[in-house]
Each structure stands twice: as structure tokens, then as C-alpha cells.
Amino acid sequence: MSRPIDTDPHLPFPILIGDIGGTNARFSILLDAYAEPRPFPIVQTANYPTIDQAIQKAVLDKTSVRPRATILAIAGPINGDEIPLTNCDWVVRPKALINDLGFEDVLVINDFEAQALAVASLAEEYREPIGAASDNFTASRVVLGPGTGLGVAGLVHAQHTWFPVPGEGGHVDVGPRTERDWRIWPFLTPVEDPTATVGRISAEELLSGRGLLNIYHAVCGADGKEPTLPTPADVSTAALAGTDAAAEEAISLFTTYLARVAGDMALIFMAKGGVYLAGGISQKIIPALKKPEFRAAFEDKAPHSALMRTIPTYVVTHPLAALSGLAAYAQTPTRFGVETDGRRWRG
Ligand SMILES: Nc1ncnc2c1ncn2[C@@H]1O[C@H](COP(=O)(O)OP(=O)(O)OP(=O)(O)O)[C@@H](O)[C@H]1O
């Protein structure tokens, strides 16, 4: 028996999938449920005034395939018919995509929801284990991604279905714990965020590009030294090369705080299937994450340390992880419990 159209999660092929970040937009086309996604060159969002023009010029003008549907993953909340992106001037207008570009079906989801879809079935070659624990059964997972901000999503496994749970976990409070933390904390001030509430250090203010710089400045401040490294990449490069003591401590604290928050998220979701570190920064600091501090802080969750020791941790190394999650969903939407209410438009 065929399902009524309103509850059928399948979108019609060909499907254009897009991962729209603050800086970069990545697109692929899926011809059918079995074909490999066909990628297009990465688009710099600053080079196009609107997403419609980017899709037209960077995708539709470059292929004779006419996608009938599109699934877009965006950074930011999805409310209503006008969806502004965080960190970029583009506004997603699904009705315009239908009327002007000819799509019949448009689905917009959160970027970390797409990352969560990706970790449901990430091949071994696209994940780097941190620590010895390994997953040998299907269980709920968590994905955390330090980048421009800190994205967090759960992936709950129930009733043979993966349910991505997008949230705002990057904005939980983090407090000092060790004696050194207590010395550093008074020097932690938002580096580039004038809207941050005074006195509140959220996870994102530590675990992001600006967060790493924030930690580095605080380490220098606590030691009465002048900071000399201007960017987060300078801090991690100097730390990994062992050429700057404050940068080395900053990256060590960054991995420790990331592990504490990752452990908290694992406890909340009972993520026996593992914690996956995505985002732009994790892949670049794998040697630091492989030092003992990360797993030690992750497992340091009395009275649940024994449980934490069994939970594997990985860095996602797939170059287009969010797109791979969207492709998995587009191919077999019934494997996933993705909420489409208020996020799907049809022409
Ligand atoms: N080697 C590095 N070490 C530490 N931080 C880095 C490094 N390279 C870049 N960053 C920081 O990572 C952040 C960018 O993260 P990411 O690559 O995830 O970009 P994004 O804007 O969040 O995503 P998108 O590329 O999808 O637009 C910036 O704050 C940048 O300063």
C-alpha cells in the first residue's frame, strides 16, 4: 500500500544536497538511491549575494541534471519561510527555491543534525579513534564540533531508527575545576563577542576558534605574559610544533575542556555508541587529542568512570561529513527519525 504523500519521507530524485556553512557551501547531486553523490566545487559564500544565485551558477549551470528536490543543512535555527544563516548574509527562502529554481520539494535541517546523520554509518576510514575503547554494537551517539562555534547533536538509537537531536549544547556553562583552572578563569573574557553575558563562560567561549584564542590569552594573563600569537591556527601550530609554552598549555586545556564537555554530553545521551568530534578544528589537532589528557578528562566522571571507559571517542575525518549524512538520509529516509514539520516545503 502506498503511503499518503504528506507522511512519505522520500523526496523525489534527483536530489541536490547542500551543506551551507558560514564561509563555505558544499553541494552534491544524488541521481537515485544507489548512485554515489556527484560533488561540485566548494563555493565561498562571500562570492555570491544569495544562495539562489550560488545554486544557479555553481550547480545548475554546470550540469544538465535537473534536481527535483533539495535538502539543505544550515547553521542556524529554522523558523518560518525566511531562514537567515548565522555568520553569513544569505537567507534561505524555500518558496523562492520552488518558484524560481524549479524544485518540487525542499527540506531544510540543522547542520549538526546532518553531522549526526553522518555518524550513524561512518566508515572506519573516515574516523580516527582517540583511545582504546571500541564500539561493537549499535547504540546512541553524540557529535560535537568545535569550529567557528561549537555545534552539538545527539543521535538516539531506538526502535531500529536513528533519531538526530539537534540542540544548543554548545551554550552550556563550563566552570573551573583544577587549581590551575581557578587561576586562569578570571582572565577568560569573550575575545570577539560583545554580546556575551558577563560572568558566564559557555562551552563555545572555550571550544571554538575564538575559544582557543581565549584560553591562550587567559594562560598568558595568568602568567603575566604578553600574548604574541594572533590566530587560533597560530596557537595550535605553535603548540603542536612545541615552540611556545603558553600555546602548548592552551591546546592541552582546550583538549581537556573538550573532553569534559564531551563526557557530559555522553552521560546525557547515554552515548554508548561513541562520541564523535567533528568541526573544523578537531581534525587539525589530532596529535593533541591523542595525548593522555583527553581520555583521562573524558573518563573522569565519578561515579560513572567505569561506564565512560567503555565509550569510544573518534575524530570525524570525512572531508564532507555533513553531505555524507544528507546523502544517507536522502537515500534511505526511513532509517532516520528526522522531524520534517515546518521544515519541508512542496511546490
Ligand atoms: N589549525 C587550526 N587550529 C585551530 N583553529 C583553527 C585552525 N584552522 C582554523 N581554525 C579556526 O576554526 C574556525 C573555523 O572552523 P570551521 O572550519 O569549522 O569553519 P565554519 O565556518 O564553522 O564552517 P564552514 O567551513 O562550513 O563555513 C575558525 O575560528 C578558525 O580560526
Distance 102 CA to ligand 1 centre (A): 34
Match 587561576 to its residue by C-alpha cell.
183
Give the residue whose CA is nearest to atom 6 of ligand 1.
Answer: 233
Q: Which of 168, 167, 215, 207 is nearest to 187 (CA)?
A: 215
Element (H, E) at 116: helix 111-119
Q: Is the confidence metric ipTM above 0.85 for this complex?
A: yes
- DSSP letters, 16-39, are EEEEE-SSEEEEEEE-SSSSPPEE
Ligand 1 atom at shortest distance from the alpha carbon of 279: 18
Distance 196 CA to ligand 1 centre (A): 20
Res 133: pLDDT: 81
Give me 8's grid cell. 512519505
DSSP assignment, residue 173? B
Cα-Cα-Cα-Cα dihedral of 345, 114, 165, 338, to 10°? 40
> Helices 321-331 and 111-119 meet at what angle, rounded to 10?
70
Q: Which of 177, 160, 171 is nearest to 195 (CA)?
A: 171
d(CA 219, CA 256): 14
Res 194: pLDDT: 63
Task: Please check whether residue 283 is in contact with residue 315, taking contact to mean a CB–CB distance below 8 angstroms.
Answer: yes
Output the ligand 1 site: residues, CB below 6 A: 21-24, 147-148, 209, 212, 231-233, 236, 279-281, 284
Ligand 1 atom at shortest distance from the alpha carbon of 237: 1
Res 2: pLDDT: 41
Res 1: pLDDT: 38
Distance 242 CA to ligand 1 centre (A): 21
| Identity of the residue numbered 285 | I
Beta-carbon-side half-sphere exposure of residue 37 (alpha carbons within 13 Å): 25
The length of the chain in residues reads: 347
Print pLDDT tens along the chain (347 aa): 344 455 789 999 999 999 998 889 999 999 999 999 999 999 999 999 999 999 999 999 999 999 999 999 998 889 899 999 987 899 999 999 999 999 999 999 999 999 999 999 899 999 999 998 887 678 999 999 999 889 999 999 999 999 999 988 999 999 999 999 999 999 997 544 566 556 689 999 999 999 999 999 999 999 999 999 999 999 999 999 999 999 999 999 999 999 999 999 999 999 999 999 999 899 999 999 999 999 999 999 999 999 999 999 999 999 999 999 999 999 999 999 999 999 999 99
The torsion angles phi and psi of 149, rounded to 5 degrees, stand at -125, -160
Residue ranges of domains in the chain, CATH in brackets? 5-110+320-346 (3.30.420.40), 123-317 (3.40.367.20)
Res 300: pLDDT: 98
Distance 233 CA to ligand 1 centre (A): 8
Q: How many C-beta neighbours within 10 Å does residue 62 have?
A: 12
Give the residue whose CA is nearest to atom 17 of ligand 1.
Answer: 280
Give me 81's grid cell. 519561510
Task: Please check whether residue 174 is in contact with residue 260, taking contact to mean a CB–CB distance below 8 angstroms.
Answer: yes
Q: Is 21 annotated as a binding residue?
A: yes
d(CA 147, CA 210): 9
In three-state secondary structure terms, 202 is strand
Give the residue whose CA is nearest to atom 24 of ligand 1.
Answer: 21
Res 314: pLDDT: 97
Res 191: pLDDT: 41
State the pTM of this model: 0.92
Cβ neighbourhood burial of 137 (10 Å; 0-12, 13-18, 19+): exposed
Beta-carbon-side half-sphere exposure of residue 128 (alpha carbons within 13 Å): 16
